[in-house]
Amino acid sequence: MTDLSAFQFTAEHEWVLVDGSTATIGITAYAAEKLGDIVYADLPSVGATISHGAVVGEIESTKSVGELFAPVDGTVLEINEAVIASPELIGSDPFGEGWLIRVSFESLPELLTLEAYEDLTRD
């Protein structure tokens, strides 16, 4: 199991892993489970400018479509080509091989800790 202590989260079920001024972004296992079998990912283009809170992509499953919200302001450095080719990676390994985009950013908004996110998703 992935150690999630270094991850930060949004109320919209994205995760953020910061390395210097780069943020790797994906959706949480909770979100992936709610979506079900993921069949398609629509991600922003490399070089695109994204704004905190704006919709920047979609994750489609056999039962619904989920929006990907930008957890930071920044510029897309990389998209995960593996999830474009095999979108099921998002559901099978959301905190690892199922990451979605890498973004350069200058400042990080206030995000949720693992404990705060788990409180949010507790049924």
- Share the mean pLDDT of the chain: 95
CA–CA separation, 92 vs 11, rounded Å? 21
86 CB-near residues (< 8 Å, 6+ apart): none
Pull the structure tokens for residue 74.
């920044």
How would residue 2 be classed by pLDDT, with cut points 50, 70 and 90?
A: confident
CATH fold, domain 4-109, is OB fold (Dihydrolipoamide Acetyltransferase, E2P) (2.40.50)
Model confidence over 55-113: pLDDT tens digits? 999 999 998 999 999 999 999 999 999 999 999 999 999 999 999 999 999 889 999 99
Q: Answer for the pair 114, 28: CB distance below 8 angstroms, yes or no.
A: no
**Considering only CA atoms, which of 66, 32, 52 is closest in space to residue 103?**
52
